Structures are given as structure tokens and as C-alpha cells.
Amino acid sequence: MAVLAGVHTTSDQKFDKAKITYVGTAETVNGDGEQRGYFHNVHPNGDTSHGTFEAKVKTAGTAVTLAGTWTFAGGTGSLSGLKGGGVFKSEMTSPTTSEMTWSGKYEIVGR
């Protein structure tokens, strides 16, 4: 099981400085396998967004790399009706240090 917390840095003002919590479970053999889970963002204005992800997991020594896809499941406030998805990559270089790169597209349906 993995639980990560961090802050987004992006040029998209809706997501810049949003706080992310990411919770996933992994099935691995010899350190390689798959991870699935959920993410929840709290945006600076109090709105939220959330969704799911799945990724391939690779380990090399103490480093863990994940690469996969993410999908928005919804949001609140100005993000109500949020839909979209994309890809991400994460590299964990220690049990307490990781960097994630997310990319993709989204729309706010009904706005």
C-alpha cells in the first residue's frame, strides 16, 4: 500500500498549489507489477477534484518507478462536472522522496 501527499506545481491556475493525496495498492512479484488507486486534490480556493489511476511498477534497488494512466471522476465547486484523463510517471528515490509528472486533458461539463 502506498500513501503519498504533495502539492501540484503547474501553469494551470485551477491546479497550481492544489494539495494531492494519493492512495494505492500494488500487486508485485520481485518488486515489479501493477498499482491501482485513488487521488484527491484540494485546490487553494477550497474546491476539490478526484479520480482513479493505474500504473506499472518497476523497482531497482530502493528506487521505484510508476508509469500509467489517470482519470478524473469528478469535482466540487467550480470543478463540478470535471471529466478528463491522461498519463503520469512517478519516481520514488527513497521512502520519503518522490516526483510525479502528470499530463492530459480535462473539461468541465455543463459550464
- Structural domain boundaries in the chain: 2-108
- Calculate mean pLDDT across residues 43-56: 97
* pLDDT (mean) for 69-90: 96
Average pLDDT over residues 60-82: 94
Segment 70-76 shows an average pLDDT of 97
Mean pLDDT computed over 100-110:
91
**What confidence tier does 15 reach under pLDDT thresholds 50, 70, 90?**
very high
Q: How far apart are CA 41 and CA 50, in angstroms?
A: 6
Is pTM, for the whole model, over 0.85? yes
**What's the confidence (pLDDT) of residue 65?**
93
Residue type, 97: T
Longest CA span, the chain: 47
> Given this model, what pLDDT does residue 48 score?
98
Which of 11-15, 19-23, 61-65 is predicted with the least confidence, judged by mean pLDDT?
61-65
Per-residue confidence (pLDDT) for residue 82, from 0 to 100: 96
Contact between 81 and 55 (Cβ < 8 Å)? no
- On average, the pLDDT of the chain sits at 93
- Separation between Cα atoms, residue 43 and residue 32, nearest integer Å: 33
